[in-house]
Amino acid sequence: MKKTSFPKQDIKVLLLEGVSRTALDTFRSAGYTNIEFHEKSLPEAELAKAVASAHIVGIRSRSNLTAEMFQNSRRLMAVGAFCIGTNQIALDAAQARGIPVFNAPYSNTRSVAELVVAEAIMLMRRIPEKDKQCHVGGWSKSAVGSFEVRGKTLGIVGYGHIGTQVGVLAESLGMRVIYYDIETQLALGNAQPVGSLHELLGKSDIVTLHVPETAGTQWMIGAPELAAMKPGGLLINASRGTVVVIEALAEAIKSGHVGGAAVDVFPVEPKGNAEAFVSPLQNLPNVILTPHIGGSTLEAQENIGFEVAAKLVRYSDNGSTLSAVNFPEVSLPEHPRSRRLLHIHRNMPGMLTQINNLFSDQAVNIDAQFLQTAGQVGYVVIDVSASEEQAETLKDRLAAIPGTLKTRLLY
């Protein structure tokens, strides 16, 4: 095996929340054997301890990685979010410690889109109520309140990877699709952008939310927005629980103004399957509640396992940070004949000069150099023709430059 400055068997990989076995396979086939795997998330104190002892950490949506955890995790090299959302991670704090965070921006998007389209049909037919009645011996064969989705208007809030797929699937069912996004987005099929959220709410028979959790989306659907929906309109939320004021939604359903809802994400979600779930939406008519499983299909989880583990391995083995969500992105070639030094530093004037002076002092040839900065962090990768000893000396001297966050040497 190719030598690295830090032997792979000593690199501790912590994988939580039952990430797919494909992640373990990917790490193992790349030579990483020190893997701690948990089916569930860990309670906060245990999580903090486990993260502090790991070099690479993989989570899903239930584990909150706080600024304090990053502060106390000196060994931590990289984090993988085996999902799309990264709101559970203190990204700026990770960046400030020189820790890139990777996610899987596409792998579960189709799964979410399929569920949303299925829910649109189920809600339009008031299936939740009919299903419940049949289970307890009832039989209410009636067309009252049941409609086809064909010809109805679907309003998509957040026309990104998931929203666009929902739109394409909905059009194939004969729906009219409108969307609202804060960015200009290319309309797929016959979808039409609208100028404001309120315009979308007033024109849609079904509203579906596909925005990330940000300051701008927090509680974006509250009582005034629900009131702006068409009478009897339906709401689907498979984005984040903080996007909808859930008490207001419950009231709007009770009043009959909102005709039903399918909700997959909640402001507070149980930490694990053993914890009880409580919501004001329980036992309301025409409501589908699911336990944050929009992206939980075997296909999606297997793909995510491969994708995120491969990004973490590539960073660890080669230094590439392509598609990191909080870090300068560098896609690096292999370095078969050079030793590779990685230098992560505070983004401040004069840093590159100090680094380059150090190499000229040591009379070492630089074969290639890559520099990228993002926010408060700069990332320099230097391939050198140097002996092992020279490279180790350079690494130590790089580490001594004021403002250095992390240095690594890859052989």
Ligand X SMILES: O=C(O)CCC(=O)C(=O)O
Interface positions with ligand NAI (CB under 6 A): 84-85, 108-109, 112, 157-163, 180-183, 185, 210-214, 216-217, 220, 238-240, 264-265, 292, 294-295
Q: Report in angstroms how near the CB of residue 313 gets to ligand X at its nearest.
A: 20
Residue (105 or 280) nearer to ligand X, CB: 105
Angle at alpha carbon of residue 159, lines to 101 and 178, rounded to 5°? 170
Closest residue to ligand NAI, based on beta-carbon distance: 160
Residue 268 interaction partner, one of ligand X, ligand NAI, none, beta carbon < 5-8 Å per kind:
none
Residue 191 interaction partner, one of ligand NAI, ligand X, none, beta carbon < 5-8 Å per kind:
none
Residue (163 or 295) nearer to ligand X, CB: 295
Residue 123 interaction partner, one of ligand X, ligand NAI, none, beta carbon < 5-8 Å per kind:
none
Q: How far is CA 394 from CA 38, 204, 378, in A?
A: 38, 62, 18
Catalytic residue among 171, 247, 269, 392: 269
Q: Report in angstroms how near the CB of residue 23 gets to ligand NAI at its nearest.
A: 17
Is 110 marked active-site?
no
Catalytic residue among 110, 176, 292, 345: 292
CB-side exposure of 94: number of CA atoms within 13 Å?
Answer: 28
Is 292 marked active-site?
yes
Amino acid at 402: P
Is 240 marked active-site?
yes
Residue 14 backbone phi and psi in degrees, to 5: -110, 115
Q: Which spans of this chain sit near ligand X (rule: CB under 6 A)?
A: 60-61, 83-85, 108, 295-296
Residue (213 or 247) nearer to ligand X, CB: 213
Catalytic residue among 55, 60, 126, 240: 240
Residue (99 or 265) nearer to ligand X, CB: 265
Q: Report in angstroms how near the CB of residue 304 gets to ligand NAI at its nearest.
A: 10
Amino acid at 372: Q
Q: Which long-range contacts (CB under 8 A, 24 or more apart) does 366-375 make?
A: 367/335, 367/337, 367/338, 368/333, 368/335, 368/338, 370/330, 370/332, 372/321, 372/328, 372/329, 372/330, 373/328, 373/347, 374/95, 374/326, 374/327, 374/328, 374/329, 374/347, 375/92, 375/95, 375/326, 375/347
d(Cα 295, Cα 23) in Å, to the nearest integer? Answer: 16
d(Cα 324, Cα 160) in Å, to the nearest integer? Answer: 18
Residue 60 interaction partner, one of ligand X, ligand NAI, none, beta carbon < 5-8 Å per kind:
ligand X
3-state SS assignment for residue 293 = coil
**Residues involved in catalysis:** 240, 269, 292
